[in-house]
């Protein structure tokens, strides 16, 4: 296998010191070590500082609209189940405007990975409180302390039905890389909550703050997050959810929950439509004859003539 670089040559415009650099490093290393085929790998993101990441990784990338990355990714994965699909989004993107899609992916257990850049703020729009910022905390850009409660992403993901749920820390790239590899290899919906310092707007949850507090669940001998049999699920879920509320002097990172007992959405579809996924939309015929598309350019322009506008070329 020829080692390849998964980094593009674009200038990265995150603020110096931003935790997103650590996440990018981990993603690139994980892809490299798994030797993913760039033509069969897709990063889908929403809107936010974090969502710029597809531009920096040399695989297929789709930078979509705020909150909708999971919806796009669902379509991509169902249309071509042979792809490895990884969603990146901010805490505002995935748990604010996109919370409905986030929960739905858990219920579906579609085989994609969601990596959440959790910085406690809306970084791109100058530091408003995000859904993960605890009540009573006052970060730089807030005039008064946060008046809303935080939600717990790990507990939400587990109760929504995600079958791989983990937490990483942006500046422990080696540990995060391993989590990303495991999440990609897991069959079913996987979620990684990544603690990400935002140097510009979050002066409370800083790199210094996390460095002193994070500890690894995988180093705790008694910790076993895997539900192998259906009868173990509830007990493991409750233990994981309880663990996810540990936040203060010590903050756990690592795998909280793995469920090996649930079928994926692709498997459920293939039971209903036996030809799927051996024949899927990306493999289906979209031409009338050999090289005549169902709708050619002329036909397209005729159908949509009222909607086509000329834009200025720069």
Q: Which residue has the tokens 């730089």?
A: 140
CB of 41 to ligand SF4, least distance (A): 24
What is 43-93 written as a DSSP string? EEE-SSSGGGGGGGBSSEEEE--TT-HHHHHHHHHHH-TTSEEEEEEEHHI
Rg from Cα positions in the chain: 21
Q: Per the structure block, which two tokens stand in for 259?
A: 């469920």
Residues 162, 186: Cα–Cα separation, whole Å: 11
The stretch near ligand TPP (CB under 6 A) out of 8-16, 91-99, 223-231, 249-257 is: 91-99
20-39 residues in contact with ligand SF4 (CB under 6 A) are: 20
Query: Taking CB within 5 to 8 Å according to partner kind, which of other proteins, ligand SF4, Mg ion, none is near residue 91?
Result: Mg ion
Residue 92 as a binder of ligand TPP (CB under 6 A): the answer is yes
The stretch near ligand SF4 (CB under 6 A) out of 11-19, 31-39, 96-104, 254-262 is: 11-19
168-227 residues in contact with other proteins (CB under 8 A) are: 171, 173, 197, 199, 207, 211
Binding to other proteins by CB under 8 A, coded x per residue (else -) over 1-40, reads ----x-x-x-xx-x-xxxx-xx-xx--xx--x--------
Phi and psi, residue 214, nearest 5°: -70, 140
Nearest to ligand SF4 of 90, 106 (CB atom) = 90
25-84 residues in contact with ligand TPP (CB under 6 A) are: 47-50, 66
Residues 176, 311: Cα–Cα separation, whole Å: 43
Q: How many residues bind other proteins (CB under 8 A)?
A: 23
Query: CA 143 → CA 47, 129, 140, 147, 194, distances in Å?
Result: 24, 11, 8, 11, 26
The stretch near Mg ion (CB under 5 A) out of 31-39, 76-84, 128-136, 218-226 is: 128-136
The stretch near Mg ion (CB under 5 A) out of 56-64, 130-138, 156-164, 241-249 is: 130-138
Binding to ligand SF4 by CB under 6 A, coded x per residue (else -) over 49-78, reads x-----------------------------
Residue 173 as a binder of ligand SF4 (CB under 6 A): the answer is no
Phi and psi, residue 3, nearest 5°: -70, 135
Q: Using the 8-state DSSP alphabet, how is residue 95 labeled?
A: I
∠ CA(71), CA(134), CA(162), 5° rounding? 35
Q: Are strands 190-195 and 164-169 parallel, antiparallel or unpaired?
A: parallel
174-213 residues in contact with ligand SF4 (CB under 6 A) are: 198-201
| Length, in residues, of the chain | 314
Binding interface with ligand SF4 (CB under 6 A): 14-15, 18, 20, 49, 119, 123, 198-201
Binding interface with ligand TPP (CB under 6 A): 47-50, 66, 90-93, 97, 117, 119, 121-125, 130
């Amino acid at each position: 296998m020829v080692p390849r670089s998964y980094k593009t040559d674009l200038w990265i415009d995150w603020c110096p010191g931003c935790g997103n650099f650590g996440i990018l490093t981990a993603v690139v290393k994980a892809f490299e070590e798994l030797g993913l085929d760039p033509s069969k790998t897709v990063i889908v993101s929403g809107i936010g500082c974090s969502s710029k990441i597809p531009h920096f990784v040399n695989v297929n990338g789709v930078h979509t609209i705020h909150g909708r990355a999971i919806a796009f990714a669902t379509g991509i994965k169902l249309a071509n189940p042979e792809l490895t699909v990884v969603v990146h989004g901010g805490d505002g993107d995935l748990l604010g405007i996109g919370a409905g899609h986030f929960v739905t992916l858990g219920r579906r257990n579609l085989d994609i990975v969601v990596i959440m850049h959790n910085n406690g703020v809306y970084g791109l729009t100058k530091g408003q409180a995000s859904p993960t910022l605890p009540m009573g905390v006052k970060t730089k850009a807030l005039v008064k302390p946060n008046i809303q409660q935080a939600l717990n992403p790990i507990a939400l993901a587990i109760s929504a039905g995600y079958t791989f749920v983990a937490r990483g820390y942006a500046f422990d790239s080696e540990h995060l890389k391993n989590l990303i590899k495991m999440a990609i290899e897991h069959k079913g919906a996987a979620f990684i909550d990544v603690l990400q310092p935002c140097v510009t707007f979050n002066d409370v949850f800083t790199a210094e703050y996390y460095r002193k507090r994070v500890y690894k669940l995988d180093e705790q001998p008694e910790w076993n997050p895997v539900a192998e049999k259906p009868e173990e699920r509830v007990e493991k879920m409750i233990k994981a959810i309880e663990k996810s509320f540990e936040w203060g002097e010590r903050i756990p990172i690592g795998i909280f929950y793995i469920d090996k007992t649930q079928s994926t959405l692709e498997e459920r579809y293939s039971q209903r439509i036996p030809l799927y996924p051996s024949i899927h939309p990306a493999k289906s015929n979209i031409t009338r004859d050999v090289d005549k598309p169902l709708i050619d350019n002329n036909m397209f322009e005729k159908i949509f003539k009222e909607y086509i506008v000329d834009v200025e070329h720069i």
